[in-house]
Amino acid sequence: QTLQPFSTLTAELPPATDDAGHLYKVSLNAPAGAAVTFASSTALEVGTTADVWKKVGGYVAVAEGTYDAITADYWQVIFRRIFTAPEPLEIKPESPAAAEGEGEGGGEGEEAAKEGGEAAAAEAEEKAAEEGEAQPADVEAAASAEAEADPAMAEDAAAAESPPSTFREFLIRLQVEVPDSDAAPFMRIVTIDNDTGVETVHPLLETAYMPWAKNEKGYTVMLVAYTPRYELAAGSWKMTALTSLPLEGEEAVAAGIEEVPCGTTTQFSGVYTPNKYHRLFRDVLVSEDATYKLALRLALVDPSLYVRLEVFDAKSLELVCSVRGRKTVTLHSIVIPSGAGEEGLVVEATLDNEFMEMPAALVSRYPYYFSEMTEPPEGSEMPGWTMTVVSSVDVTLTHDVAQEAAFAKVSGAWEEEKPGRAERAAGLRALYLAEAAKAEGGAEGDDTPLEKRRADALGADMVEPELEATRVARRPELPAVKEATAEASGPPELMDEAALSARADAHLEEMVASKENLEGVDNGVAAYHESLKGQFADQASKMGDLRSKAVADYTAVMLRRAQYRQSCEDKIEALTFLKEKGEEAVEISNQPEGEKGAKGKKPAKGKKK
């Protein structure tokens, strides 16, 4: 319905098929206030969503609070709640005895049916007796004896006779009210399954009815806000949960809803340094909260870059959760496996080269970063990043030195096994970098032969007597080189003239076949080019025809427009002329009779008037 001072909406609703009726929601957008009047053909009850939901047998849980002012380009979690879903409700059907006891009408029909059933049973017993079969009475007596001997059998028999039960699943619908109409469009509801970590972002402040199964860790509901350019004033919020079954917990307003503090917001930022892993950062996040009920949001300055955010267990280095996207990625909740997170979490962010082609300025030429020998291109700005952590307690973010420690451990083992290896490796790497810079013209070259410079890099300056003695002592321990010689089976045989001629003929045939194959390929390529030329000429001809037709159509349209414009101008000129003559006629008709005749007569020629 359009917004007007007075609006009327008529709707023909389908009739109810049972006594429960139908539920309809009426939304009114009137910031200045309004009054609504309902006129219906039958009885109608009007109330808030929560009141009506209670009347139809539902359950309502309410939570409310306030939030602080939010600055521009700032991501904030307004509240975090954990819901505990109950078990499905078992609905047992009525027993057959109770169904038979309902109502007193139809007694005669039941008696007749009973008598008929007894007669049929007696006739069946007589026939079974004649054939020598067991009597039903005997069977019933045996079953009764077995039931008395085994009570469990009696319970199973009773359960088999009773109709199956049905279950009512747990449905929930969330509604969040924010009185500030300027802040509401920048807020979103997020629901998370704490067992699986599946997140669902709801774009409006209201969700559909969601079936939630009973799980171990419950479900998390969050309200997040982000405004890129505007500032939001402080305000309040109210969340209403409409459920089909009561939430687990005490009988209170917010039964089954656990409040998780999220008032601590910490931001970390930095600038990307080109490296072979395309890594923005790899840091260890430590929180005093062992459950790590926190949210992470990583935003890049460059909107064209794709990024991947991963969280690992700092002890086992197993992947806990990850997310990937363009410019901005968010982990609203981190589901920690059992026993993980004792030594913190490793948070790693990398540029996702699977979804984009890495720009040349962001790729490192050397294994780790741009050195003083390879400066970044002039005018290139490295992309910056900002990570926001929202938690209940303070968190710390420190650089992860696990990889450096592992590398140092391996290097130490190599050095212990072969002393001086690290020094020799450093000298050879410096030599390699110098050669690479010389090849690209980045540094002045050295005319000394490479062998001489390599010998200098590993020469006497880096050799100590003790190390050399150790090397000499280890040489006898080196394994001997195994050599294997192949013995000829017989004296070599020379090819005769016939064999040489046959080999030459075979080679000539191969060359002829190869030439024919190449000629066939060339002919095929030439034919393909000719077909392409023909298709191009055909398309050019069709495009020329279409252009000629378009020009002709355009000329015809413009001609009709010119004719129409000219006819309009002629009509306007005629109307103007008629209007002037009409005004003159009106003026003449309004003059006195004497003046009309005098004005109408012309003086005689040659006489004075």
Per-residue pLDDT reduced to its tens digit, 402-416: 666 666 677 777 777
Q: Tell me what the mean pLDDT of segment 272-287 comes to.
A: 84
Q: How far apart are CA 335 and CA 216, in angstroms?
A: 12
Q: Kindly report which listed range (37-46, 269-278, 402-411) carries the lowest average pLDDT score.
A: 402-411
Q: Could you give phi then psi for residue 389, rounded to 5 degrees?
A: -115, 120
Residues 392 and 334: their CA atoms lie apart, in Å, by 13
> Residue 530: its pLDDT value, please?
93
Cα–Cα nearest to 338, from 213, 221, 217: 217
| Interatomic CA distance for residues 333 and 576, integer angstroms | 78
Quick: pLDDT tens for 169-191.
888 999 999 998 889 999 999 99
**Tokens for 424?**
């020799």
Residue 501 pLDDT > 50, yes or no? yes
Decide: 442 and 394 in contact? Cβ < 8 Å. Answer: no
**Banded model confidence at residue 25, pLDDT cuts 50, 70, 90:** confident
pLDDT of residue 52: 82
Please return the burial class of 503, using the count of CB atoms within 10 Å of its CB with bins 0-12, 13-18 and 19+.
Answer: exposed
- What is the rounded CA–CA span in Å between residue 435 and residue 430? 9
The pLDDT assigned to 251 comes to: 45
Q: What is the pLDDT of residues 133-157, one digit of tens each?
A: 444 445 445 445 554 555 555 555 5
Q: Give the contacts of 415 (CB within 8 A, at least 6 positions apart).
A: 421, 422
| Residue in the block written with tokens 């047998």 | 57
Residue 151 has a pLDDT of 55
The amino acid present at 474, given as its one-letter code, is R
Average pLDDT over residues 93-111: 50
Q: pLDDT confidence of 258, banded at 50, 70, 90? A: confident
Q: Which CATH class is domain 264-400?
A: mainly beta
Residues 75/262, Cβ–Cβ less than 8 Å:
no
Q: Please tell me the distance from the alpha carbon of residue 573 to that of residue 331, in angstroms, as a whole number.
A: 74
SS3 345: strand
What is the distance between the alpha carbons of residues 297 and 330, in angstroms, rounded to a whole number?
A: 4
76-91 tens-digit pLDDT: 899 999 998 888 877 6
Which CATH architecture group holds 57-88+169-259?
Answer: Sandwich (2.60)
Residue (of 284, 229, 494) closest to 404 by Cα position: 284
pTM above 0.85, yes or no: no
Q: What's the rounded Cα separation, in Å, for the pair 241 and 253?
A: 11
**pLDDT tens-place string over residues 428-472:** 777 776 766 666 555 455 555 555 555 555 554 445 666 666 766
Spatial neighbors of 296 by CB under 8 A, at least 6 apart, are 309, 311, 330, 331, 334, 347, 387, 388, 389
Contact 226, 78 (CB under 8 A): no
Which DSSP state fits 132? T
Angle at 71 (CA atoms; ends 67, 77), nearest 5 degrees: 45
% of residues, the chain, pLDDT over 70: 67
The token duo for 564 is 């129409």
